[in-house]
Amino acid sequence: MITKRISTEQILANLRNKVEQRLPIMISSAGSGLVAKLLEQAGTDCINTFSGARLRANGMGTMSMMWPILDSNRQTLDYTREDIMPALDGKAFVCACLNANDPLKDMRMVIEECQRMGVNSVSNIGPSISYVDHDSEIYRVMTSAGITLQNEIDMLKLAREEMNMVTIGLGFTVEDCLAMVEQARPHIFCYHAGTTKGGLKGYDNGTTIEETAEKTEAVYQQLRAIDPDVILVAHGAAMENPEDAQYMLDHTSGHGFWTGSSTERLPIERAVSAAAAEFAALRFAK
């Protein structure tokens, strides 16, 4: 097996070409090699790997990665190397979503390991302190203990400025989004509007697709004022299916979207449930 690799220069050229042609950029998370292969064949531009996607492949919710049940970086690196990279044909690039707040790892060494396996893009989502409500006691305790957004910003700055990586930033709040783009200047930024609804493990906080688009566009406008060249993609909340993603394209000024549960967990739940139900309904002939 020789894993095909895509250089940083080629990744950026492909992204810029799509932006110029007004073609939506599609980023998709994958927790298994099969899902990654199918996503690449369908035409996604980027495969994201992170502990939340790996846990989703095991039937857990994305937010289970916030609980100390695993070494997030180790799991991401291992399954990216063993499951994802060998499954791809080199059409989609891989972005490893890393935990920049891991106190036991030098992030330079973690990123170097990504580069050795052929991964030339990293993100701060795996997991991110931005997931935690800023007005909560747990957020105040975590930040006082040194688990901060600044560590994530510093990791993306290191990856882009010193290690020639394609960087993808992500934030949940306007405050975090602005800080991330202003300081780290990621090539791509994703505003995370909230946990995707639907399916067995989704969460519906009542936000409509209209509200999701309105919130997303408001963030886009502020980010573009900081960095006019940043590529902006939408994710989460009410963006559950292709019709929702089309609404986001039609009602925001972004360049594309990021799918997670929408193209891995939800389709698997539906397809396996339907196929299994048909088999389970079979009976012996009388």
**Could you report the per-residue pLDDT of 7-59, keeping only the tens digit for each?**
999 999 999 999 999 999 999 999 999 999 999 999 999 999 998 887 777 77
Tell whether the model's pLDDT for residue 274 goes beyond 70.
Answer: yes
C-alpha to C-alpha distance for 147 and 130, rounded to whole angstroms: 11
| pLDDT class of 154 with cuts at 50, 70, 90 | very high
Per-residue pLDDT, 265: 83
DSSP letters along 184-218, please? H--SEEEEE-SSPP-TTT----S--HHHHHHHHHH
Q: What is the pLDDT of residue 185?
A: 98
Using pLDDT thresholds of 50, 70 and 90, give the confidence band for residue 284. Answer: very high
Task: Choose the weakest-confidence range: 51-60, 123-132, 158-167.
Answer: 51-60
Instruction: Kindly list the structural domains of the chain, giving each domain's residue range(s) and its CATH number in brackets, ordered by start.
Output: 9-275 (3.20.20.70)
Rounded Cα distance, 5 and 91, in Å: 9
Kindly report, residue by residue over 233-249, the tens digit of the pLDDT.
999 878 889 999 999 99
How far from 234 is each of 6, 192, 252, 254, 285, CA to CA, in Å? 24, 7, 9, 7, 52
Give the C-alpha separation, 155 to 98, whole Å.
9
Evaluate whether 32 touches 261 at the Cβ level (below 8 Å). Answer: no
Model-level pTM?
A: 0.91
DSSP 3-state helix, strand, coil percentages of the chain (rounded to 5)?
Answer: 50, 15, 35
- What's the distance, Cα to Cα, between the start and end of the chain in Å? 51
